[in-house]
Chain A
Amino acid sequence: MEHSLFLLLIYVFVLAIFVGFELITKVPPTLHTPLMSGSNAISGITIVGAIISSGSGDFLFAKILGTIALVFATINVVGGYLVTDRMLKMFKKDKETKV
């Protein structure tokens, strides 16, 4: 049982890598910097693990580590999305810049 779950997770991982390749090869070079910061914000998803560890009651050490992780992950998420939006706001077409 333990093993089949682990294998299932590996299936998901491998398939997601393929989805990632398909999606990202279509991103034009102009957007490579926002792609990096935006995808970086997504890697802050580890915040989910940090929240669970930070909120766990019985394990003091896990709680401390989880809370530190939570601070870092939140910086990653909030900083990543905000800075990406700030960048994407600036990209304008020819006509839009003349107005």
Chain B
Amino acid sequence: MKSSFLQDIIWISYLAASILFIFGIKYLSSVKTARKGNLLSAIGMLLAIIVTLFDQNILSYETIIIGIIIGSALGALMALKAPMTGMPQMVGALNGFGGIASALVALAEYFKYDVVRLEAYGQLMPYNLSISIFLSLLIGSVTFSGSFVAFGKLQGIITGRVVKFPFHNTINVVLILLILGFGLYFCFFRNLVDQLFLVFALSLILGFLLTLPIGGADMPVAISLLNSYSGLAASATGFVINNNMLIIAGALVGASGIILTNIMCKAMNRSLMNVVLGGIETAGLSIAADDQKKITVKSVDSEEAAMIFDSAQSVIIVPGYGMAVAQAQHAVRDLYLALEERGKNVRFAIHPVAGRMPGHMNVLLAEANIPYDKLFAMEDINNDFRNTDVVLVVGANDVVNPAARKDRKSPIYGMPILNVDYARTVIINKRSLNVGYAGIDNELFGYPNALMYFGDAKDAIIKLTNAIKEL
């Protein structure tokens, strides 16, 4: 009787934790309340962990204490050491850890079952349990190895280019069929550990092969998708241990990842299938080969650029992944301050897929202490380019390529872009005239109102700022 009363308290606390998670995400809808939301969500998690320690199935605490201490130390170390430019890798790694944890919990639940005795009686474990274990193991493992590859690509350990083996997609299909085959056999015929280990191993390979062909600029989609998987894996684990809180929390994360994936795909005018299959690179190369137009560009140095800024009233800065690579966000902040001091109206225009994860640019600019009310999403600022004197593009390329608007043959045709070419003058900072990620020339560079300002983003912006101050 006493233990069931305790169990009731545990379940009510789980409900409270679920509500805290929901409010936590709700408060993330405004910058003002976001920090409080994260705190609420963390309190919910702490509550869930504390009441779980009173679960009657727990017989010893040594391994729990050791596990939590090691995990907390590593987690805190990662969270405090990770540079803001490395946030995509950090989130990628965390997705992976969540995924593998869910998979291992499912596997552990399996070993609590005396399968040998069940077999002796010609029985199977309940279908809902075996199916949940299978799904949790599958999704969790794919999340883990997929996130591992994404991390490697973002960190530069694995090439960011599209990597495909011969018959890559065929291999994937065969793998999926094998996993389903072993999984169904496990669920409905014999609850053998061999099948489960095969599902585990093949799912790890599948996650690896699915993420490998995804190119660097498509990472926002991959990271969002893996985020969704990590939630779904937690939900599946909730089905394994019959726990509503895990199902709710996992579903919230799953929904979040799906929505972000959808936003990212729309921002590139591509289907999820197209991104997952790594389609754009091949398309880009073939176009570049047979349709290469010579573009003549005009370039300016820092003094000339400074003069143009001096005579401008309104300025929009468009950051891209190049800014992150060059760690130029603080230099951009100094430029922003210098321009504001001179009475210019300075705003930032941020394309949804700029950078390597959703919101990547916003975090970098926030780190550089640039107020968030100066950052504008594409749909909120795109009509203002017409009335803007100078646009400065820092390390962005495909998201400002006008070919997306009118060149039907272009692989990025139809992708919504920032209309920087409508401004009076566009100054594009780039290291060199290399093509962007999509492998195509950017005709913007040859436009009459476009000026190239060559150099490493950080150095070039610092020089420009100094030149403006000296005027």
Contacts and interface: CB of A to CB of B under 8 A. Distances in A.
Contacts of A56: 57-59, 112
B129 to A, nearest CB: 9
A87 B210 CA distance: 30
B246 to A, nearest CB: 5
What is the interface residue range for chain B against chain A?
35 or more
A29 B350 contact: yes
Interface in A1-40: 2-3, 5-6, 9, 12-14, 16-21, 23-40
Nearest to B377: A29
B91 A33 contact: yes
Interface string B374-417: 11010000000000000000000000000000000000000000
B157 interface: no
Nearest to A87: B363
A63 to B, nearest CB: 6
Contacts of A65: 104-105, 107-108, 111
Nearest to B67: A70
A43 B371 contact: no
Contacts of B227: 36, 39-40, 43
Interface in B22-36: 22, 24-26, 28-31, 34-35
A37 B375 CA distance: 20
B97 A76 contact: yes
A59 to B, nearest CB: 5
Given A40-B227, A62-B109, A77-B45, A34 B252 contact: no
A33 B233 contact: no
Contact of B60 (A19, A55, A97): A55
Nearest to B333: A97
Nearest to B239: A9
B187 interface: no
Contacts of B146: none
A82 B38 CA distance: 9
A1 B89 CA distance: 45
B46 to A, nearest CB: 9
Interface of B is mostly: helix
A49 B243 contact: yes
B367 interface: yes
Contacts of B239: 6, 9, 13
Contacts of B357: 32-33, 36
B233 A43 contact: yes
Nearest to B126: A2
B1 interface: no
B366 A90 contact: yes
Nearest to A49: B105
A47 B101 contact: yes
B278 interface: no
Given A38-B41, A41-B42, A88 B34 contact: yes
Given A63-B63, A88-B34, A44 B45 contact: yes
A44 to B, nearest CB: 5
Contacts of A24: 25, 252, 255-256, 259-260
B245 A46 contact: no
B238 A88 contact: no
Contact of B31 (A30, A54, A63, A95): A30
A23 B29 contact: yes
A92 B369 contact: yes
A80 B31 CA distance: 18
B204 to A, nearest CB: 14
Given A29-B359, A72-B97, A41 B45 contact: yes
B248 interface: yes
Contact of B359 (A13, A35, A82): A35
B190 to A, nearest CB: 19
A75 B71 contact: yes
Interface string A59-89: 1011101111111111111111111111111
Nearest to A66: B108
Contact of A62 (B58, B72, B87, B112): B112
A93 B372 CA distance: 6
A96 B31 CA distance: 13
Contacts of B231: 39, 42-43
Contact of B80 (A51, A68, A82, A88): A82
Given A13-B248, A34-B359, A76-B101, 4 more contacts: A17-B254, A58-B59, A66-B104, A79-B78
Interface of A: 2-3, 5-6, 9, 12-14, 16-21, 23-59, 61-63, 65-97
27 contacts: A5-B242, A6-B128, A17-B251, A23-B22, A29-B359, A30-B31, A32-B362, A33-B87, A39-B231, A47-B101, A56-B58, A65-B108, A69-B108, A73-B101, A74-B68, A74-B75, A75-B75, A75-B97, A76-B101, A79-B75, A79-B97, A81-B41, A82-B76, A83-B78, A85-B35, A87-B84, A90-B367
